[in-house]
Amino acid sequence: MRPLSLGVALSIQLFSTQLGLLSANAYDIVKDYSGDTFFDGWHFYGSYDNLTSGDVDYVTRENATAKRLAYINSAGNAIMKVDNYTDTIYMEKRESVRIESKLWYGPGTLWIADIVHMPYGCSVWPALWTTGKNWPDDGEIDIIEGINLMQDNQVALHTTPGCMHIDPPPPNQRGVSRQLNCTIDAGCTVGETVPNSFGAGFNNAGGGVYATQFDSSGIWFWSRPNIPRSILEATSTSSITSLEDWGPATASYPSGAHCEIEKFFKAQKIIINITLCGIWAGNPEFYSPQCADQGPTGLCYNDNVVGFGTARKYDNAYYEFRYLRTYTNGQAVITDPDADDDTTSSSSTASTTSPTGSATRGTDTLPSGAPTSAASEVHSFAAKVWASVASVVGLTFAVL
């Protein structure tokens, strides 16, 4: 989840090569995170947000379950949410969820997430992202990230010096390149250009699917009505045999001399989290234009996180995942540090065989939450200062 936290075609010939790769690649299922076993494949962070100075305490799995901040709803979907029933007192933090995959995925993997609802609202900062074990040396990929009342998603890569997103962008990229240098605070960012990629619009459209090809291509988004057939017809045990119907990527990051993916990126763990305020959502430069009318002080923490009656401000601060599936092209190295040995994992965990189809949302009312991962881990999600992004990001906000 970061502000913290994919390079580019130089010719039509390269574009044709990429299309050939998309049609030729077949990906076998590695892991299906869905249904009653969704949370079994994750570590819960279990500490305060020491990474982006957010005003949350990330709960353990035990507390998340007991307080229903993480659970499976009546539709069989995974819910992760901010506490929306407790009025937090001044100087305290609101409870939330951050989970990190137990498996680490190397280049040559594909990740597909079907999401029915994503968190949004003033002070809310959700993200779906990945990072390597040694940040920044092993890279970071931001798949979903936004703040407050943003309408459009922004994706990014973060690397050590030497990785660039070339201008002009690849012909198969539909998003708008905002930053080209993957080393700067913002990373090499690309803004989505199709509607309903983030926030209230995403949810009102029934959600959608995000896909990341971790080797040479990029990140895709489809709103619910536009999900390609190859994904709609996939099950928890089937392979993805072709990407030909995927169309242009939001962000295309082909590996090449400008940025060799396998040089700048090592095995990644997948992270899903929701923080509040912090160094991006709570920065007055970004908070005030969207949310200054939320309370008497005009301050993110004071007017949202704490005080009588503020809990209900977080009724929409939750994720609802139908599934997150990971795949391999047969060459990727996938490891499980929790296993007794360092053997490569290639088996799938099948929870359901139903295709994506139309998303079903649970009918239960959302109440207002294993071993923890290293709470002292420091990586990009923590270290970035977002004031430097203001003049270049060109964010779009909803006016409510």
What is the average per-residue pLDDT within 73-93?
98
Tell whether 223 is covered by a domain.
yes
Tell whether 203 is covered by a domain.
yes
- CA-to-CA distance for 111 and 103, rounded, in angstroms? 12
Indicate if the pLDDT at residue 348 is higher than 70: no
What integer pLDDT is reported at residue 359 of this predicted model?
A: 58
What integer pLDDT is reported at residue 362 of this predicted model?
A: 56
What is the average per-residue pLDDT within 318-326?
99
Q: Enter the tokens of residue 306.
A: 């704490």
- CA-to-CA distance for 253 and 256, rounded, in angstroms? 9
User: pLDDT tens digit string along 275-302?
Assistant: 999 999 999 999 999 999 999 999 999 9
Q: Encode burial over 201-238: b for 16+ CB neighbours within 10 A, e otherwise.
A: bbbeebbbbbbbbbbbbbbbbbbbeebbeebeebebee
Q: Enter the tokens of residue 238.
A: 């089937």
Contact residues for 78 (Cβ-Cβ < 8 A; gap 6+)? 33, 34, 38, 39, 70, 71, 72, 319, 320, 321
Tell whether 342 is covered by a domain.
yes
What integer pLDDT is reported at residue 4 of this predicted model?
A: 39
Tell whether 4 is covered by a domain.
no
Are 345 and 335 contacting, i.e. CB atoms less than 8 angstroms apart?
yes
What is the average per-residue pLDDT within 345-372?
41
Contact residues for 215 (Cβ-Cβ < 8 A; gap 6+)? 107, 108, 109, 255, 261, 262, 329
Tell whether 301 is covered by a domain.
yes
pLDDT band at 136 (very low <50, low <70, confident <90, very high): confident
Q: What residue type is assigned to position 371 of the chain?
A: P
Indicate if the pLDDT at residue 384 is higher than 60: no
What is the average per-residue pLDDT within 203-218?
94
Give the rounded percent of residues in the chain with a pLDDT score beyond 70.
78
Q: Which domain holds residue 156?
A: 12-392
Q: Enter the tokens of residue 263.
A: 């040089």
pLDDT band at 398 (very low <50, low <70, confident <90, very high): very low
What integer pLDDT is reported at residue 14 of this predicted model?
A: 34
What is the average per-residue pLDDT within 195-212?
98
What integer pLDDT is reported at residue 143 of this predicted model?
A: 98
* DSSP summary character for residue 59: P
Indicate if the pLDDT at residue 331 is higher than 60: yes
Indicate if the pLDDT at residue 122 is higher than 70: yes
Indicate if the pLDDT at residue 387 is higher than 90: no
Indicate if the pLDDT at residue 21 is higher than 50: no
> How many domains does the chain contain in total?
1
| Mean per-residue pLDDT over the chain, rounded | 84
Indicate if the pLDDT at residue 352 is higher than 60: no
Tell whether 207 is covered by a domain.
yes
Q: Which of 32-46, 64-78, 337-351 has the lowest mean pLDDT?
A: 337-351
SS3 42: strand
Tell whether 151 is covered by a domain.
yes
Tell whether 58 is covered by a domain.
yes
**Residues annotated as catalytic (active site), given as ranges:** 140, 145
For the whole model, what pTM was predicted?
0.83
* CATH number of 29's domain: 2.60.120.200
